[in-house]
Amino acid sequence: MRYVTHGAGGPPSVLTIADGPRPTIGAGEVLIEVAYAGVNRPDIAQRAGQYPPPPGASPVLGLEVAGRVVEAAPDVAWPAVGDVVCALTPGGGYAEYCRAPASSCLPIPRGLTTREAASLPENYFTVWTNVFDRGRLARGETLLVHGGSSGIGVAAIQLARALGSRVLTTVGTEAKAAFVASLGAEPIVYRGQDWEAAVGRLMEGAGVDVVLDMVGGDYVEKNLRVLGDCGRLVQIAFMQGSRVTVDLRLVMTKRLTITGSTLRPRTVDEKGAIAAALRERVWPLFERGAVRPVIHAERPLERAAEAHEILESSQHIGKIVLAVAPDGAA
């Protein structure tokens, strides 16, 4: 099969096409002929040598795919050979064939294309387990999302709004502000103003209930300050650094919770439980149009470097996908 290799790692230019054997599946797994693969920030970190795959995972980049199942282990009841699915994978998505745990596969939501479905797993698995499981966001509460125009941000905004929460979000430009406002969020353009003060004005002095943060650095203490009593800070990345200094009196006096997680090292059973929750609670929202995929750009597999450059520029709104074999899936 053809796949994208990043060699010893480095800038986007290290991404090239190579040839190698198809993956061999084990118990509980399926082999997917990939039509489209999603592009995510962990791919960039792995390409740069900063995020090694967990033991047993493919060294090939790519954490989400959509395509047709061409092989299934004997103990797999679903999906069956011939089914078209999207899947969260532990790696290997930038390739013509990718193995995935059957429990991490999901059907394509009715009304969506395979291309659109490839943009869903990484973001929606991440948002569900962090915002709703760990952050315990409830109907009527307020969520602050940093980076609202990112793939994660767009998913978090739409899902929180569909499930009855108010959403504030920080973005970098007026164009991005207009887009997230169209999704039902209240945008704060952080360039040229103090986003912490802007949150205070929008909340009229009250605190938000949950913060979803991918920035880290000096955002962490500000997040603690904008949270209300019993608020929850959910940290899922540290684009500005993970070593921070904070005043823990804020945690004590407001009874705050600081939590977070990474998705890739979670067990197959844990990811399967998230997939089951998405199928029950979130996939129906796609099917009735309450939540929709947002794809900023598509590039063929051979131009994976361009896809990474777009993502690193932070000029995108929504997701970027790689077309691997788009004619191979219905």
Please name the residues in contact with 302: beta carbons below 8 A apart, sequence gap of 6 or more: 17
Q: 116-125, 155-164, 318-327 — which is least confidently predicted?
A: 318-327
Residues in the chain: 330
Return the amino acid letter for 110: R
Strand, coil or helix: what is 251?
Answer: helix
pLDDT digits (tens, 9 = 90+) for 6-16: 999 999 999 99
Q: How far is CA 104 from CA 3, 161, 266, 270, in A?
A: 21, 25, 12, 9
Q: What is the CA radius of gyration of the chain?
A: 20
How close are the terminal C-alpha atoms of the chain, in Å? 21
Q: Got the DSSP string for 214-242?
A: S--TTHHHHHHHHEEEEEEEEE---TT-S
Return the C-alpha torsion angle 223, 229, 230, 231, nearest 10.
Answer: -30
Half-sphere exposure of 224 (CA within 13 A, CB side): 21
CA 94, 121, 171, 250 torsion-angle sign: negative
* Contact predicate 272/101, CB 8 Å: yes
Work out the average pLDDT over 102-113.
97
pLDDT band at 26 (very low <50, low <70, confident <90, very high): very high
Q: Give mean pLDDT, residues 294-313.
A: 97
Nearest to 91 by CA among 264, 301, 263: 264
Ordered structural domains, the chain, with CATH: 2-120+264-328 (3.90.180.10), 124-260 (3.40.50.720)
Within 10 angstroms of residue 236's Cβ, the number of other Cβ atoms is 22
- Give dist(CA 43, CA 22) in Å, integer: 20
Name 297's bridge partners: 320
% residues pLDDT > 90 (the chain): 93
The pLDDT of residue 330 is above 50? no
Angle made by CA atoms 55, 63, 287, in degrees to the nearest 5: 140
Query: Are the CB atoms for 264 and 63 separated by under 8 Å?
Result: yes
Q: Whole-number mean pLDDT of the chain?
A: 96
Q: pLDDT tens digits, residue range 130-153?
A: 999 999 999 999 999 999 999 999
**pTM recorded for the entire structure:** 0.95
- Mean pLDDT across 18-38: 98
